[in-house]
């Protein structure tokens, strides 16, 4: 995972990738409110599902992580997508209260 060098506040919108252990089908994308999802299975047969969020702030990201936790799905990684973050900063949404 690359280290993110962007300054991100609690109120800035960003696009995140969230990876969990386990295999979920596409129907879960609507439940979690994500724009896309993919499943990879390694050579040992262990599945990992990766969600790409819509542009969300930190509160929405924590909400997604809490939903994953309540379902007992182990969190493997959370990463901000820098190129999407840059696109949002150029003409996108930020929202300091």
d(CA 94, CA 97): 10
Residue 5 in any domain: the answer is no
Residue 70 in any domain: the answer is yes
Residue 97 in any domain: the answer is no
Reported as a pLDDT band with limits 50, 70 and 90, residue 12 is confident
Residue 1 in any domain: the answer is no
Residue 96 in any domain: the answer is no
Length of the chain: 97
Residue 23 in any domain: the answer is yes
d(CA 3, CA 76): 16
d(CA 5, CA 74): 26
Query: For residue 94, what are the β-bridge partners?
Result: 12
**Residue 13 half-sphere exposure, CB side, CA atoms within 13 Å?**
15
pLDDT tens digits, residue range 31-70? 888 889 999 999 999 999 999 998 899 999 999 999 999 9
Phi/psi of residue 8, each to 5°? Answer: -125, 125
Where are any strands of DSSP class E within 22-92?
34-41, 47-53, 75-80
Our count of domains for the chain comes to: 1
Domain containing 83 equals 16-91
CATH number for 73:
3.30.70
User: For the whole model, what pTM was predicted?
Assistant: 0.76
């Amino acid at each position: 995972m690359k280290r993110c060098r962007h300054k991100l506040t609690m109120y800035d919108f960003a696009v995140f990738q969230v990876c969990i252990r386990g295999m979920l089908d596409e129907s879960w994308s609507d439940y979690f409110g994500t724009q896309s999802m993919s499943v990879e299975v390694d050579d040992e047969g262990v599945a990992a599902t990766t969600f790409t969020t819509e542009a969300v702030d930190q509160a929405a990201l924590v909400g997604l992580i809490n939903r994953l936790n309540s379902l007992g799905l182990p969190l493997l990684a959370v990463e901000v997508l820098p190129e999407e973050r840059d696109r949002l900063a150029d003409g996108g949404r930020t929202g300091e209260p």
